[in-house]
């Protein structure tokens, strides 16, 4: 398992705050193990430099209402 920036005690506190429930140590290990792949992918995305990359699709809500001239 990969080391997390957030210690387990703080992680448990975050989960309790977000969900309004208490998470025991055994359940916390299960939750961390289940979300490990997601956390890993988020870390990869955060490392990307997207300053010069434009989105593939640009949202333009008025395009459908413009006449084809």
* Inter-CA distances, 55 with 35, 58, 62, 69, Å: 27, 6, 18, 26
Across 9-30, average pLDDT = 81
> Which pLDDT belongs to residue 31?
83
> Which pLDDT belongs to residue 1?
44
Lowest mean pLDDT among 1-5, 6-10, 23-27: 1-5
Q: Which helix (H) or strand (E) holds 49?
A: none
Whether residue 3 has pLDDT greater than 60? no
pTM: 0.47
Average per-residue pLDDT for the chain: 80
């Amino acid at each position: 398992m990969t080391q997390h920036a957030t210690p387990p005690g703080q992680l448990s506190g975050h989960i309790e705050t977000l969900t309004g429930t208490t998470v025991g140590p055994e359940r916390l290990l299960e939750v961390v193990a289940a979300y490990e792949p997601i956390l890993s992918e988020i870390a990869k995305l955060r490392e990307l430099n997207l300053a010069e990359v434009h989105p593939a699709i640009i949202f333009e809500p008025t395009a459908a209402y413009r006449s084809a001239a």
